[in-house]
Structure 1
């Protein structure tokens, strides 16, 4: 039978988080596409902003009428109308501001939610190889610190641009309507403002990238130093002081980066404040010079200076958005880098059904080869095997010979670089991952229990399982009696990574969790390695019962657990060097006999 997948494209190596992120150019159009699903609410927000800005622009004209007409002419009726209009404008713009803030914040939070879930979902699709190459703290930092750092930009950028731009334009038009000559004087602020803004934006972007990398390192230190395994290691190795020193140094570097980030904007703000403070003085001077003296009323002058002062906030806000957006590009680069990671082990475009109810469990390896990324040596080299449905296969060999890698290929934690693996004649790469997970169950030597109750740990494998099914699986794994003696029974918290229980107890809970799914193919990768001899025998008897009608692959160092297997393969450096039954291999007096000696 010809393989359905004779060749595979080369793997794409994970991008460097330190070097390539800095150089990565993030398209503003891509950032804008994050908001395309919210065009309606954003259009409503922009409309509210325009109306609010237009209403706000009326206040200076009302003020001019108060000073030039109502007060000098002692027109009380006009004064009441003008003052009432000013109060009404303030009330309406404030109410519109509340509505605008609610709508824009809701849109921003929805975008943040989508971004978080997209990153988490995409990382869930990554192969085990990605997580073995990537520090756990780095992944957590991208989802929490990086996306959290983007929150202010995502939630307020679009509305801030619209609000400040509309306000700036409205104010500029009102200023020009009052006096175009004085408006020209006010424009002298723009060149230095734009220059300083661009300079600060570049500085902020570099500092932000460095800060996020430092936060990732800090997360790694926390993950390594404060997890149960990390604390046990540091205490037994006497490394606590070194970990504290490492954490302190990283935290100190963060202080410096945060100070640099803040001060990069403060001196710009200070410079602009001085420039804007000088503008009214220049306006008063211009109004008093002979060419313009007497051409402006006091009301016009007061209204114009009020507008000019009001222009400072939206103009600086608009320029500030540019700084924030530019500096946040480093955060977007880190997030988009993860979103752009290729999925090495993915669902096929046209999946072939593999229903658990009708799957027999006939497993075949056809000249399978596999190499880990970055390694020239093959972890599995030209392995061919045939495990008929309902039979048992045992893999034995020295540590590092490739046994566990073969087991991981059966569960499709990796894809072979050559050859193919089939179940009932169907290539695993043509099957949905969820369908395969329902057919293949794995119990490995590394037990991982969630920090929740025993009941929920078991239901992680089968969320809809009944209590009777939980008990049945626990009995089969020889752990029910122990659980029933606990004060809280199946509602007992297992603790972080299950450290409340012994290694053997953790292993039996993990076995029960896998058995609950009733897989057609059962892979036992050193599944009884943490059990004492008596418990191992009891669990092995349970396995013998459960293996009836089920294809079983067992990896073990203790040959006593595999002697009854239908076929035994001896693995060395990823190759099958001997195969047969326990009796025939002993009779051959080869590598297997040497292991049994």
Structure 2
């Protein structure tokens, strides 16, 4: 916790206002690592780097901003200055007041408590890697960040390329000197050289493979982490407009690009080192045959370039067909309960068959189109591997070349190694079709505008719960009508506000704006006098408790689900929240209690139990503003009565915004806002609205006509009783 506070204090120096509650790990963890803290800071809009440094370098950092020093007891200190002349640094306690004077510390005292690790923090000024558009340039920068590994791989590849020259040279010597002169001593010497060179080649090959494996693993990890973060940063509105299966299919296409960059692209560029080293040697042996090798490889490349466009178009169609098939698979698995209930298996199977047929047709078209350049280039490859040596032999026999028999064999051995990188480089262009199409599909999702800026910047005021809508207008994308039309109302903190109205009147839209789901409204929406768009989005959402009509529970224990957003809370906090939500009684009846495992889809608990767990999850952080959007509409009467009975207790000391079609559940609200076609029809307590608001009165009578009829019948019977007595 001290390390976290030290990081927040250092970030404050750069104008970054961070919140402990935004820390993804356990906030009660005493000593998060520098890497964990740096990753969190980078997600929050800073640039942070953890590193290990020696005293002699630390003491020279006199002009640096505050630096976080990691201490051995799991805490941290903030270094605010240094003096290399006097060999001291000035430290400040992160838990103390900023006005507190820093303490000078020398090397001997600091080394007793300091781990040697520091955390450097600065504010991000330019477009970061997290916000940069996903394209080839972005991926190239991702790879080039591993400069050290790339340098080591380049050195190993260059050395291996040089070593690969020696076997053909040795063969040339064996043919020209050993065999022709019958020299056993020369053969023994050459054998010893071959053994030594082979040993080093095996060793270097192993080292290069290990370095390449580490490099590709690091790139794969960085891409995976970034993609998931970018996906989470997309606004809810985007996911609501897209098929989930389509989104997943497009995002997963980036891994084809990853495989290309860490597979074919990497191996081809490594082979190019062989080309750089060996090609000059081929020209030394025979410039005529060397030019023939290069020209033939160039023709292969030209063929592939010509077919790039047609193959690329066919491959784009294949990717689209494959994504549509994946979307059917995802939709089937997600809706399997409905499919089984309505016996829709034949219909879904027919849809799958159609999509599969589209994929097969597209795959066949791609294969046939790709087969042409492969077939046309095959004679050229055969000429490189077999024909050039025959041409070389002809030149030797006719006296047009002075190349000896040994040199001819050496050229044949090296020629294949030169031709392979050249042909692979040409085929690399062919792979670009697949990579470009895959990258375009992934970018269509990942390059959507994100909430990153809103999630990492903005004010973090203390939330009390006073709401104010002033001439708020809002339209959904693509809609010609306003969902909210000049909505204006105001409620003080601690108010229980009910929202009622016919379907499509704008009730849920108001709650969406409050949660920051949509920020493209006009007018002013203020929370405690602060415009909602000025508030940090993460801080805003963490300050709210939201319960929807259909709440999602994660696969895990009941305790894990209740503490989903607050992993550091104790079992006492969980029990208190469950009691407040009316969930304690059914949890304690379960065999494992709070450790009961909830299956995927919450199939082992009832709808009412799931709803009460969602309420417990919302109240555990003690939010000052709670939103219940049709939270009881799907409950049975008993569960609904239980939740409604707890609403007053839950709402004590906090603002409650309750959306419900059942007006009986809103009778005890302090204020009830009546919406009609996106406008405010009226606002007031239940009794007042019954008298003056025709819309509210109509809705009330529609829902309570049986009760009213019974009351009228009872009144008629009471009035008729004296008349019956007189008749007797």
| Structure 1 length-normalised TM | 0.89
Alignment of 1:377-388 (within 5 A): 377-388=481-492
Question: Is 1:42 aligned to residue 150 of structure 2?
Answer: yes
Distance 2:256 2:150 in 1: 22
1:71 aligns to what SS in structure 2? helix
| Per-residue CA distance 1:373-419 (angstroms, 9 max, x = gap) | 11111111111111101111111111221111111111111114211
Residue 131 of structure 1 corresponds to which residue in structure 2? 239
Residue 587 of structure 2 corresponds to which residue in structure 1? 483
Residue of 185, 207, 210 corresponding to 1:77: 185
Residue 272 of structure 1 corresponds to which residue in structure 2? 377
Give unmatched runs, 5+ long, in structure 1.
1-24
Residue 169 of structure 1 corresponds to which residue in structure 2? 276
Kept in 1, the 8 Å contact 2:251–2:445? The answer is: no
State the 1:368 CA deviation.
1.0
| Per-residue CA distance 1:283-324 (angstroms, 9 max, x = gap) | 434533564267332111111122223333222222222222
Distance 2:210 2:307 in 1: 30
Kept in 1, the 8 Å contact 2:301–2:427? The answer is: no
Moved more, 567-576 or 526-535: 526-535
Q: Which has the larger radius of gyration?
A: 2
> In structure 2, do the counterparts of structure 1 residues 65 and 335 end up closer, same or farther at CA, with 3 Å as the change threshold?
same
| Per-residue CA distance 1:443-475 (angstroms, 9 max, x = gap) | 111211112221211111321121111111112
Question: Is 1:560 aligned to residue 664 of structure 2?
Answer: yes
> In structure 2, do the counterparts of structure 1 residues 28 and 414 end up closer, same or farther at CA, with 3 Å as the change threshold?
closer
Residue 393 of structure 2 corresponds to which residue in structure 1? 287
Distance 2:688 2:567 in 1: 44
Residue 199 of structure 2 corresponds to which residue in structure 1? 91
Kept in 1, the 8 Å contact 2:673–2:684? The answer is: yes
Give unmatched runs, 5+ long, in structure 2.
1-132, 702-728
1:568 aligns to what SS in structure 2? strand
Question: Is 1:467 aligned to residue 571 of structure 2?
Answer: yes
| Per-residue CA distance 1:30-58 (angstroms, 9 max, x = gap) | 44222231122112211211111111022
2:556 aligns to what SS in structure 1? coil
Distance 1:255 1:500 in 2: 40
Kept in 1, the 8 Å contact 2:247–2:445? The answer is: no
Distance 2:455 2:359 in 1: 44
Residue 653 of structure 2 corresponds to which residue in structure 1? 549
Alignment of 1:12-161 (within 5 A): 28-144=136-252, 146-161=253-268
Kept in 1, the 8 Å contact 2:551–2:610? The answer is: yes
Kept in 1, the 8 Å contact 2:547–2:631? The answer is: yes
Moved more, 407-416 or 101-110: 101-110
Residue 337 of structure 2 corresponds to which residue in structure 1? 232
| Per-residue CA distance 1:199-233 (angstroms, 9 max, x = gap) | 34334433332232223212211121112xx1222
Residue 437 of structure 1 corresponds to which residue in structure 2? 541
State the 1:101 CA deviation.
2.3
| Per-residue CA distance 1:230-286 (angstroms, 9 max, x = gap) | 122223333211211221222233334444445555554444343233343354345
Distance 2:361 2:281 in 1: 44
Question: Is 1:516 aligned to residue 624 of structure 2?
Answer: no
Distance 2:410 2:255 in 1: 42
State the 1:109 CA deviation.
2.9
Comparing both chains, which one has the higher relative contact order based on Cα–Cα distances under 8 Å and sequence gaps of 6 or more? 1
Question: Is 1:243 aligned to residue 348 of structure 2?
Answer: yes
Kept in 2, the 8 Å contact 1:53–1:170? The answer is: yes
Residue 16 of structure 1 corresponds to which residue in structure 2? none
Distance 1:348 1:509 in 2: 27
Distance 1:256 1:149 in 2: 21
Distance 2:379 2:637 in 1: 81
Alignment of 1:216-231 (within 5 A): 216-227=323-334, 230-231=335-336
Residue 590 of structure 1 corresponds to which residue in structure 2? 694
Distance 2:194 2:422 in 1: 23
* Number of equivalences: 567
Considering fraction of residues, name the structure with more strand. Answer: 2
> In structure 2, do the counterparts of structure 1 residues 91 and 265 end up closer, same or farther at CA, with 3 Å as the change threshold?
farther
Distance 1:294 1:393 in 2: 97
| Per-residue CA distance 1:160-206 (angstroms, 9 max, x = gap) | 23322121233322211112222233344134211222134334433
Kept in 2, the 8 Å contact 1:477–1:539? The answer is: yes
Distance 1:242 1:57 in 2: 64
Distance 2:444 2:566 in 1: 34
1:110 aligns to what SS in structure 2? helix
Residue 410 of structure 1 corresponds to which residue in structure 2? 514
Kept in 2, the 8 Å contact 1:369–1:380? The answer is: yes
> In structure 2, do the counterparts of structure 1 residues 525 and 376 end up closer, same or farther at CA, with 3 Å as the change threshold?
same
Kept in 1, the 8 Å contact 2:496–2:655? The answer is: yes
Residue 401 of structure 1 corresponds to which residue in structure 2? 505
Kept in 2, the 8 Å contact 1:454–1:491? The answer is: yes
Distance 1:190 1:156 in 2: 22
| Per-residue CA distance 1:132-159 (angstroms, 9 max, x = gap) | 1111011211233x02222321213553
Alignment of 1:177-196 (within 5 A): 177-196=284-303
| Structure 2 length-normalised TM | 0.74
Supply the RMSD in Å over aligned alpha carbons.
Answer: 2.3
2:488 aligns to what SS in structure 1? strand
